[in-house]
Each structure stands twice: as C-alpha cells, then as structure tokens.
Chains A and B, each alone.
Chain A
Amino acid sequence: MTSYILRRLVMTIPILIGISILSFAIMYLAPGDPASMLIDPNIKPEDLERMSERLGLNDPPHVQYMKWVGHILQGDLGTSFIQRRPVNDIIMERLPNTLVLMIASSLFAIVLAIPFGVLSATRQYSVLDYSVTTFSFIGVATPNFWLGLMLLMIFSVQLGWFPSGGIHTINVPFSIWDRIHHLILPMIVLGSYDMASLMRYTRSSMLDVIRQDYIRTARAKGFRERTVIYKHGLRNAMIPVITIFGLMLPTFIGGSVVVETLFSWPGIGQLFINSVVQRDYPVIMALTMFSAVLVVIGNLLADIFYAIVDPRIEY
C-alpha cells in the first residue's frame, strides 16, 4: 500500500511540473501588467518601469520561472503585487471559506445522490426512478449561475428565507446557525450539478452491478432483496463512483468561481476573479497551482480510497 501511494505520488511530479509551466506560460504571455493598468496622468512611464522592475517582470522568462518555482518549493507562493503581502497569507485567509463551501456541497451532493441513485436503480422504471432521472438530467443541464440567480431571487428576495450573500451576518456575535443559514443557498448551487451527475453515476453503476454474476449468487443463497442490494451490491457499485468523485473536484473549484461571485462568498474563487482583473500574477499563478495540487491530491485520495474499497487492486 505504501508503495502504491508512493508510486502515485511520484506520478504526480511530472504533472505538477507541467502545470507549473503551463500556468507560468499563460501568465507570461498575457498582455498588460498590474502597473500599466492605471490610467493616471500623474503616473509616468518611469514609474511603471520602476514598478515592473520591483516586481521582477523585466527578467527573462526562464529566470522568472525558476525563481518562482524555487520559491514555491520552499513553500513561498510569492508576494501579491496588489496587496503587497505574502500570497500564502491571502490564500490561507480565504481557503477555509472555500473549503467549508466545498465540503458542505459535496456532503449535500453525496447524501442526496447516493440513496436516491440506489433507489432509482433498484426500482428501475418506477415513478421514483423517472423522477430521479429527470431531476438529475435537469440538474446537469442547468447553468449554475442561472440557478443561483433564480434561487437568490426566489428564496432571498421574494421569500426572504435566506440571506443574499456573505458568510455571516456582520456585527452580530458568532452563531453556527447564522453560518449555516448563509451556507445553504451557495451550497445548493455549487452542489447541484455534482449531485445530479453523482446520482446518475450511482444509478448506472448500481444497475451494472445488479446484473453481475455475484448478485445472482447472492440471490441464489436466498437473501432478501435488501441484503442483496445493500450488502452485496452497494459496495461494488460505489467503487466506480469513488473515482468519479475524485474527478468532481475540478468542477467544485470551477463552480466556486461562479458561486462565490454570486453570493459574495470570500473564498479563493472570488479572489481568483479579482486577481485576474487586477493582473495580480503571483496570486493567479499561486491559485492555479494551488487548485491543481488540490485536484491532484483529490485524485490521489480517490485512488487510495479506491484501493481500499476494492480488494482487487494490487499495489
């Protein structure tokens, strides 16, 4: 097992190098830099030059890249051009918010998707199955910003059930209920796509499993349907779903950009958009790198989990 994990870790190295080159290249080729974005008659080209110099933007690309990677390897993601402080600090301040949102959304997705996916597979062609299927199709086809706007309009503006943004009410003491209250809408919006697709994966995986020979064996042993499905079927059905879940991480990160913008959620997605707009390269690169690492770790965990769940995987 350790060797398996090690091997997977080693495999991530070239991926990370590739990612770092790609994100650096894109930034390097991008037009405009943070200094030149000001239109101000009082700021003279010399000032811009001076600022570029300070930011190291005048070095040749490979030097910039090596410097950057060198720092990253030491755990230093650089200094924000705009906020003039370590990118590490900025990300660490926002990361918990994004994580809370992502974890809540994935829990939301899993908790609803798996039972309904299983039910709809075991009752194929029932009303429940059709409803689940329809729902999941619609869930996958709805752009999440649109869903978000609609939910905001209905539940926040028209009905006033939920706050319209932020992660907690300002100027009131901390309360867990207040946090949850703020979390619900963004969680639904971020989780809906993955819930829908997870539901479909669970359903089809389960359908696949219940046609397997060992399910027939379990039936021949005289077990009740419930035992057959939940004891013999579910675990096998979950194996492919786990990998899918690993692959869902990027959609969560991507979705967080939209959801955080919609709900004024101060996480890394919002930070990313701000940084792109402001050409804050260290932050952009750090965030791309960071979330790529997150995805890589997610996949790694999924693989490891997969290996744990599926005894057939030899490591």
Chain B
Amino acid sequence: MTTQTQSHEPQTAPESKRLLEVRHLKKHFPVKAGVLQRTVGYIKAVDDVSFHIDQGETLGLVGESGCGKSTTGRTIIRLYEPTSGQIIFGGQDISHLSERQLRSIRQDIQMVYQDPFSSLNPRKTIGTILEEPFSVHRLYSKKERQERVEALLEKVGLNPSWRNRYPHEFSGGQRQRIGIARALTLQPKLIIADEPVSALDVSIQAQVLNLFEDLQDEFKLTYLFISHDLGVVKHICDRVGVMYLGKLMEIADKNSLYDEPLHPYTQALLSAVPRPNPNIKKRERIILKGDVPSPVNPPAGCVFHTRCPMATDHCKTNVPEMHEVKPGHFVACHLYHE
C-alpha cells in the first residue's frame, strides 16, 4: 500500500487549534535473546500511529491490555524515545529534543497515572510531592509555593491542611486526586491520563471523573484519556481512538463511534461490554476467537485478521490504511476501502 498517508490524516480542525499532532509514531522495544543477548526482534508496542488533539478537546484511547495505549502516551511525553515518527506539540516537533531542551516543554504536558499506590512517592508528604515541580523549575518563593499547593489541594477536593500527610494516609480515590493535582501544578496545556480510574471502585471513579470534567472547564485543559473501559471513555471523551496491537484501528467522534462502529474490532469490543441493564434483550454478541497475538510477531497484513470474523485473504497480506469514511470518522479496514 503506497497511498500517500498525508492525505489520510484526520482533519477535523484548522491547524491553529491543534495542540498535539502525532504522525506515524512508532515505538519498538528490542527483544534480546541468544548467547550474546543480541536483539532478535522488536516488540512493536506502537506501530505507525497518527492522530491529533485539538485545544480543549478530550481524545480517548481504548483497546485491550498490551495494545500500546500507555506506550503511546509515554512516548508523547517523551518518557520513551520514539523509534520514528513525529510528535508535534504546539507547532514544535518535540520528538527528538534532548532532555535539556525538553525542560520547558515538560511544563506543558503532564501525566496522570493508573496506579494510585505507585504513582505517589510513599516517602514524601503530599505537600512536598506537589511542590517538587516548582522546585525543579525554580518557580516561586517558598511561601508562594505553599500557597499554590494549598490552592491546588482545595481545587481537587482535598483539605489543604493535609499537606503534611503521607500518601499512605489516603484512600485510592484521594491519592488519584493528588496525582491530578500534581499534574496541574505547572499549569500544563495537555494532560495525558493513563487509565486514571481503572483502579478505583465505581463510586470513587465517578468522583474522579467528575473532577476531570470540572478541571477541564476551569483550566481549559486538553486531555489524552487512556482507558480500556468503554463506558468511561464514552462518558468523558469527545473523540475516541481504538487501538489494537500497536495500531490505531478507528478514530472518530464519540457518538459516531459508539453508535455506528465501523471496524469489526470496534464492533466486537462494544458488543463484548456487559450492559448493566437486565431489561434489554440478550444482544447478539460477537465473541472473538482466541487472544491478542504477540506484539513481537504481529500478524502480517491487517493485524486483526487472525481474529476478525470478516477477514478475507486480502486482509492477510495488505496493511489497511486509515481512511476517512464519514466526516471525522476514520477507519483502517479494507472493508471500507475499495
């Protein structure tokens, strides 16, 4: 397939509103084996992914475990060196900046993590944790920092007088709020939230989701929201991308995607979600065969063809390109392409 990929770029907004644009991003982790521990192959954790996020928008990334959601997020924030591709943030290509050059960018992109237990340094009080970004960037005086920390705590619904407490004194939901507060300290433009509510109970999850929404309104934040819970994504996102084995399968406006999923994988995924409603008639459920293949040796052609109920021989050999099938609705599937 030699189609000009540029033309397939999702284009829903004028360039000026674009906060982040990811082009052909690849992240391959080497797999070492053998006598000399030579690199014998690569885990193609992210394999040619392109998308963009506009200012003030929330983009959701869904997909099964191991499909490369977190890797995408972490590569964007440059925790990983991208193997290839471009990450354009605020018009600047940050994909190959050095650690020093990244320092200023770092203030603009922040991350919220999944595990409320592992994401806070257990040896530091939350006050210190929240002040750290300031001290790294040498911002504000000591007093000012304190005030800001207290204000932030208040913002995320925690009592400012708890600054001197340690993370272990908080429940999971509260910790997640602290994690969000930390992401907010440097007043970032983009927040990458990697499964921020997956570890929480429903009632707590709702609290945190609401907080995300409130903060977005208040600070005009842009989110890249990673989750495997289709319900959560539906609730909070404007647009949703579906990933499978390191590739983006479908990306569209939320309603368009949920109401009319195009990609067979998206369809299967949606049908697999149990509905908390015993009244509806038992739906026809698409049960996918087998497991996700290993990302070390992803299937040739369309990576989904091994499990796809509609796969043809064409799918086994040809990699489908992203196409805009409906306005703003892109899908990488041969079914919708010629």
Would you call B34 an interface residue if the criterion is a C-beta within 8 Å of the partner chain's C-beta atoms? yes
Output the least CB separation between A250 and chain B (Å): 26
Output the least CB separation between B35 and chain A (Å): 5
Residues on the A chain within 8 Å of B36, using CB: 7, 10
Would you call A141 an interface residue if the criterion is a C-beta within 8 Å of the partner chain's C-beta atoms? no
Would you call B37 an interface residue if the criterion is a C-beta within 8 Å of the partner chain's C-beta atoms? yes
Would you call A158 an interface residue if the criterion is a C-beta within 8 Å of the partner chain's C-beta atoms? no
Residues on the A chain within 8 Å of B33, using CB: 3
Proximity bits, B27-44, A CB within 8 Å = 1, else 0: 000000111110000000
Would you call A6 an interface residue if the criterion is a C-beta within 8 Å of the partner chain's C-beta atoms? yes
Which residues of chain A (1-43) have a CB below 8 Å from chain B?
3, 6-7, 10
Give complex CA distance A244, B4 in Å.
59
Output the least CB separation between B178 and chain A (Å): 30
Output the least CB separation between A47 and chain B (Å): 52
Proximity bits, B9-47, A CB within 8 Å = 1, else 0: 000000000000000000000000111110000000000
Give complex CA distance A7, B36 in Å.
6
Which residues of chain A (171-192) have a CB below 8 Å from chain B?
none
Q: Return the chain A residue nearest B36 by Cβ.
A: A10
Residue total for A at the interface (Cβ-Cβ under 8 A): 4
Which residues of chain A (154-182) have a CB below 8 Å from chain B?
none
Q: Return the chain B residue nearest A9 by Cβ.
A: B35
Residues on the B chain within 8 Å of A3, using CB: 33-35
Q: Return the chain B residue nearest A315 by Cβ.
A: B33
Give complex CA distance A10, B34 in Å.
11
Give complex CA distance A10, B36 in Å.
8
Give complex CA distance A22, B36 in Å.
25
Residues on the B chain within 8 Å of A10, using CB: 35-36
Give complex CA distance A6, B34 in Å.
9
Output the least CB separation between B92 and chain A (Å): 42
Q: Return the chain A residue nearest B34 by Cβ.
A: A3
Output the least CB separation between A41 and chain B (Å): 60
Residues on the A chain within 8 Å of B37, using CB: 7
Q: Return the chain B residue nearest A7 by Cβ.
A: B35
Give complex CA distance A6, B35 in Å.
6
Output the least CB separation between B296 and chain A (Å): 12
Residues on the B chain within 8 Å of A7, using CB: 34-37
Q: Which of B34, B35, B36 has the most CB of A within 10 A?
A: B35
Q: Return the chain A residue nearest B33 by Cβ.
A: A3
Output the least CB separation between B32 and chain A (Å): 10
Residues on the A chain within 8 Å of B35, using CB: 3, 6-7, 10
Give complex CA distance A293, B37 in Å.
23
Output the least CB separation between B122 and chain A (Å): 22
Which residues of chain A (189-222) have a CB below 8 Å from chain B?
none
Output the least CB separation between A302 and chain B (Å): 19
Give complex CA distance A100, B35 in Å.
34
Output the least CB separation between A1 and chain B (Å): 12
Give complex CA distance A172, B251 in Å.
91
Output the least CB separation between B180 and chain A (Å): 32
Give complex CA distance A236, B33 in Å.
25
Give complex CA distance A84, B33 in Å.
48
Give complex CA distance A3, B32 in Å.
13
Q: Return the chain B residue nearest A2 by Cβ.
A: B35
Q: Return the chain B residue nearest A8 by Cβ.
A: B35
Output the least CB separation between B43 and chain A (Å): 15
Residues on the A chain within 8 Å of B34, using CB: 3, 7
Give complex CA distance A6, B36 in Å.
9
Output the least CB separation between A255 and chain B (Å): 35
Output the least CB separation between B3 and chain A (Å): 40
Residues on the B chain within 8 Å of A6, using CB: 35
Give complex CA distance A173, B324 in Å.
96
Give complex CA distance A3, B37 in Å.
10
Give complex CA distance A3, B40 in Å.
14
Give complex CA distance A144, B208 in Å.
61
Output the least CB separation between A13 and chain B (Å): 11
Q: Return the chain B residue nearest A314 by Cβ.
A: B33
Output the least CB separation between A303 and chain B (Å): 14
Give complex CA distance A6, B33 in Å.
12
Output the least CB separation between B285 and chain A (Å): 29
Q: Return the chain A residue nearest B37 by Cβ.
A: A7
The 10 listed contacts between A and B (C-beta, < 8 Å) are A3-B33, A3-B34, A3-B35, A6-B35, A7-B34, A7-B35, A7-B36, A7-B37, A10-B35, A10-B36
**Interface of A with B (CB < 8 Å)?**
3, 6-7, 10
Known pairs A3-B33, A6-B35, A10-B36 / 7 extra A-B pairs, C-beta < 8 Å: A3-B34, A3-B35, A7-B34, A7-B35, A7-B36, A7-B37, A10-B35
Question: Which 8 A-B pairs rank lowest in CB-CB distance, beginning with the nearest?
Answer: A7-B35, A6-B35, A10-B35, A3-B35, A3-B34, A10-B36, A7-B37, A7-B34
